[in-house]
């Protein structure tokens, strides 16, 4: 099987995705954004969401922390809570209330949401390629995840 070291990633099924445009958009936007320490891959259990105020919301469990535009973490939240639109609004309002200077950067959130969907597409294509089904009893879960990721990349 090809490996990243050989220059060929084992996710050929993702080769048709419109990744180049997403990466280019994120690079252009990212060049103008402040870099923060971000969670990198936050799961829903990686957030503390207050019922009272977004001012007390926050990320916990920074095992995958990295330096990147904070919009990547917001994009992760948007993807993870895609069925609960209110959730991302709550988190964005928390950032706005604590860091009003991010307002101008929020216009690029859609680009980073599409970038996160691209990361999901690579993840699911790799799982399909390696025949990995851990975490799901549905053998079609990876294919469904890949289709959903493609749709997320193309959404505007």
Residues 80-100 pLDDT 10s: 888 887 888 888 888 889 889
Average of per-residue pLDDT across 104-113: 93
- Its pTM stands at 0.74
Closest CA to 111 of 34, 22, 32, 39: 22
Q: Supply the pLDDT for residue 14.
A: 47
Please tell me the total number of residues recorded for the chain in this structure: 156
What is the CATH number assigned to the segment(s) 20-154?
A: 3.90.1200.10
Residues 53-74 pLDDT 10s: 777 777 666 667 788 888 988 8
Domain ranges of the chain: 20-154
């Amino acid at each position: 099987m090809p490996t990243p070291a050989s220059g060929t990633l084992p996710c050929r099924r993702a080769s048709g995705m419109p990744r180049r445009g997403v990466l280019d958009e994120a690079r252009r936007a990212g060049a103008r954004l402040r870099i923060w320490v971000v969670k990198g891959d936050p799961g829903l259990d990686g957030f503390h969401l207050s019922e009272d105020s977004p001012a007390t919301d926050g990320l916990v469990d920074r095992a995958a922390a990295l330096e990147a535009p904070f919009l990547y973490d917001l994009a992760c939240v948007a993807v993870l809570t895609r069925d609960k639109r209110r959730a991302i609004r709550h988190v964005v309002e928390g950032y706005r209330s604590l860091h009003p200077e991010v307002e101008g950067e929020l216009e690029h959130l859609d680009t980073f949401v599409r970038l996160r969907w691209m990361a999901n597409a690579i993840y699911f294509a790799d799982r399909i390629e390696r025949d990995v089904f851990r975490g799901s009893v549905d053998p079609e879960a990876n294919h469904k995840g890949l289709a959903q990721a493609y749709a997320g990349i193309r959404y505007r």
